[in-house]
Amino acid sequence: MDGTSKTAKIIVGVDGSEESLEALRHAARLAQTSEVALEVLASWEYPRMYTGFVAAGVEGFAEAAEKVLQDSVTKTLGAERPAFVSTKLIHGPAPLTLINASSDASMLVLGRRGHGGFGGLLVGSVSSACVAHAHCPVLVVHTERKQN
């Protein structure tokens, strides 16, 4: 930590995945118990394209991300959002937006997505970047996946 004063709030990143919803559950319990604000954050980007190439149908990304954000909060915390919960949608890459947001937080909470294409990864790339560069403590919530 850099020694500057932190706001008494917890930030949790969501992307609609079960892992991020579990992180939101944990973050809400921590915020309520600690009597601090909870900011639920989602980010979005335009898909990467070749320079000068304009693809049809690239609009609507912000709206889709906003829907994922609001649906995540409603699914996890219910239709009556607790007073200590706010939401924020930011345009930009997830690791950068979360790291920047962490400079004004007392804790950052993320879901663990790891084990994508690399079996040795215990956390995903977003979580790894945040653990390495966040300006506050980071809690990475592990969710057991059910095997079929």
pLDDT (tens digit, 9 = 90+) per residue, 122-144?
456 888 899 999 999 999 998 77
Q: What is the pLDDT of residue 115?
A: 43
State the average pLDDT for the chain.
Answer: 84
**H-type helices in 35-108, by residue range?**
61-77, 94-102
pLDDT tens-place string over residues 16-60: 999 999 999 999 999 999 999 999 999 998 776 655 555 555 578
Q: Which amino acid is at 141?
A: V
Instruction: Write out pLDDT tens, residues 78-112.
Output: 999 999 999 999 999 999 999 999 999 999 999 98
Q: Residue 109's closest CA among 44, 3, 20, 6?
A: 20
List b or e across 45-71, with b for residues whose CB sees 16 or more CB atoms inside 10 angstroms.
eeeeeeeeeeeeeeeeeeeebeebbee
Starting at the earlier edge strand, list the strands of the sheet with 138-141.
Answer: 85-91, 37-44, 9-13, 107-111, 138-141
Which segments of the chain are extended strands (E)? 9-13, 37-44, 85-91, 107-111, 138-141
Specify which residues 111 forms β-bridges with.
Answer: 141
> Which pLDDT value is given to residue 6?
61
pLDDT tier at 148 (50, 70, 90 boundaries)? Answer: low
pLDDT at 120: 43
* Domain ranges for the chain: 11-34+58-89+109-143
Does the pLDDT of residue 117 top 50, yes or no?
A: no
Please tell me the predicted confidence (pLDDT) of residue 96.
95
Other CB atoms closer than 10 Å to residue 142's CB: what's the count?
13
Q: What is the Rg, in whole angstroms, of the alpha carbon atoms belonging to the chain? A: 16
| Per-residue pLDDT at 142 | 84
Distance CA 81, CA 69 (A): 13
